[in-house]
Structure 1
């Protein structure tokens, strides 16, 4: 009998191990479980099950256990597999997967999307899935991941990565960002935004985990560039130069760039481009505005420029994106 049944929904398997961080497993169920098709139907878009290499009682890193009924057979049916962290990852041994976990991974069907949250990335690395790919993990564990698996391009400054169907998230809460990203990729911003609204989290967090790493901060340095980013977001239909951002922050371009990267993990120019593309996606999904008008509204200039950026970032044209995600 099928673990998932015959619903026809996208099937998500959460693969937990002894010492699992229960919040991370819960994030997957919450985000995917809340995704619904547009009204009036409002049908669930995903089916989520929890599985483990050996079904039964699974220890968590808290003072309770969870009982997991499904074994690795769920992985053979899953369209997406998510691996949360375990306290066993805090002192990883390195090397390839072995034992029941390796046997479980062998059941994952070709073409399935595979993601990790926090130090679950060590499992993906041990399975060889991150070789030659950009990946992230919790910033405290990033150096260890790079040392144990030098074939992995470890980026400790981002909230998540998405590399050809293999995804990794940074710390615990970055699992929210990652799961919302997958929902957004599958069903568009409108669905992801509704899930975020119901979960009372932002649909998109600016920047990366660089902003959470503790650094010595001079007492006289302003604490955040958030007012500058808010100022820029209110003017996305206009050209915004680095000098404009620096003037808004009352600092030099060089200092602005350094602080911007420290807070967000991105250069100011890269951050601006991504926010312009976010707005373009929203307009493509929710309006009938022609591509030329959307290019102007988002500050990307011409339709040709918008198409070029869409192809570079998303791999599709604005027209194809609208055809897939137009909400009504």
Structure 2
């Protein structure tokens, strides 16, 4: 069982504070055993104000950070000198110093300011809420800020965009730790989408189509049932009864990415699920997921998660003799 310590700072936003306990707290193994222990701490173990009309009390002080496998810092609006000058108050800096080497660090929304002010994002790619991205980049030029994504996984340091993107990031961590099947069960339990890829654009002041405006939703559903087929843009547009130009523009307005990028994301999700849960050889997984060949699947999976199909499969399940195949 992994220990997740949620570090609540003064002015914490209750929604973000509740995300780790809700997502990690319902993750169960095959026999119903809990996969994570989630505890919450503050700098001194005392109550902290939220940005709402109530405070919260917790059972742990900063000493709990030394026991964490993963530390999650939810967003706070009371950043104080962090937001203005890029430096940490001494008690907060001392608390962060208790985190043991090798612990995974996670920030939700503007909590990325805390990690950056502590020097933990130097030279790394990160994200934060789109409305703060420009200020964040000016304050911390040593950080490679990507304002257009839902979350960034930089190995042992992960950052998310605003509010609900924290749900996406925590589900991504569960998926990375225990596979898609466990993460999908968590998502169903929490009644949220099982996967919005980290590379999907943040929803930055994009007007939604009006009631009388045709959308691409029906075509997306249709495509998900046919991922094994080529699905060229012209065919998608024809199904939606739009020109290719109109379909592409409307698709980007609704999803934040192009139809081609969306198809790759969906095919990768299907391929990962098949690698985790089926005995299909890699060639069969590639064909079923619409990549055509094992070479194509390997290239896309390597780009997305940094491992080959067989290495990915070994991470989540033992491979029976005879199912191994040479890497392409």
Partner of 2:220 in structure 1?
Answer: 229
Aligned equivalent of 2:6, options 7, 14, 32: 14
Q: Indicate yes or no: 2:128 matched with 1:137.
A: yes
1: CA distance, partners of 2:216 / 2:3: 40
Aligned in 2, Cα 1:81/1:231: closer, same or farther, shift over 3 Å?
Answer: same
User: Structure 2: which 5+ residue stretches go unaligned?
Assistant: 320-328
Aligned equivalent of 1:66, options 56, 66, 72: 56
Q: Indicate yes or no: 2:29 matched with 1:29.
A: no
Instruction: Map 1:1-328; keep pairs closer than 5 Å.
Output: 9-38=1-30, 41-89=31-79, 92-205=83-196, 210=201, 212-215=203-206, 222=213, 224-326=215-317
2: CA distance, partners of 1:97 / 1:324: 38
Q: CA deviation at 1:206?
A: 6.4
Partner of 1:3 in structure 2?
Answer: none
Q: Is the 8 A contact 1:292 1:303 kept in 2?
A: yes
1:158-180 alpha-carbon deviations (Å, 9 max, x no partner):
22111122111112111111111
2: CA distance, partners of 1:154 / 1:263: 24
1:12-68 alpha-carbon deviations (Å, 9 max, x no partner):
110111111122121101111111111xx2111111111111211111111211112
Q: CA deviation at 1:130?
A: 2.3
1: CA distance, partners of 2:299 / 2:42: 43
User: Structure 1: which 5+ residue stretches go unaligned?
Assistant: 1-8
2: CA distance, partners of 1:273 / 1:14: 34
1: CA distance, partners of 2:134 / 2:242: 32
Q: Is the 8 A contact 1:132 1:151 kept in 2?
A: yes
Partner of 1:6 in structure 2?
Answer: none
1: CA distance, partners of 2:197 / 2:212: 21
Q: Is the 8 A contact 1:207 1:265 kept in 2?
A: no
Q: Is the 8 A contact 2:150 2:202 kept in 1?
A: no
2: CA distance, partners of 1:244 / 1:280: 23
Q: CA RMSD for the aligned pairs?
A: 2.5
Aligned in 2, Cα 1:154/1:251: closer, same or farther, shift over 3 Å?
Answer: farther
Moved over 6 A (4+): 206-209, 217-221
Identify the range of structure 1 (292-301 vs 124-133) with the bigger mean alpha-carbon deviation: 124-133
Q: Is the 8 A contact 1:285 1:327 kept in 2?
A: no
1: CA distance, partners of 2:209 / 2:71: 44
Q: CA deviation at 1:254?
A: 4.3
Identify the range of structure 1 (223-232 vs 234-243) with the bigger mean alpha-carbon deviation: 223-232
TM-score of the superposed pair, with normalisation by structure 2: 0.88
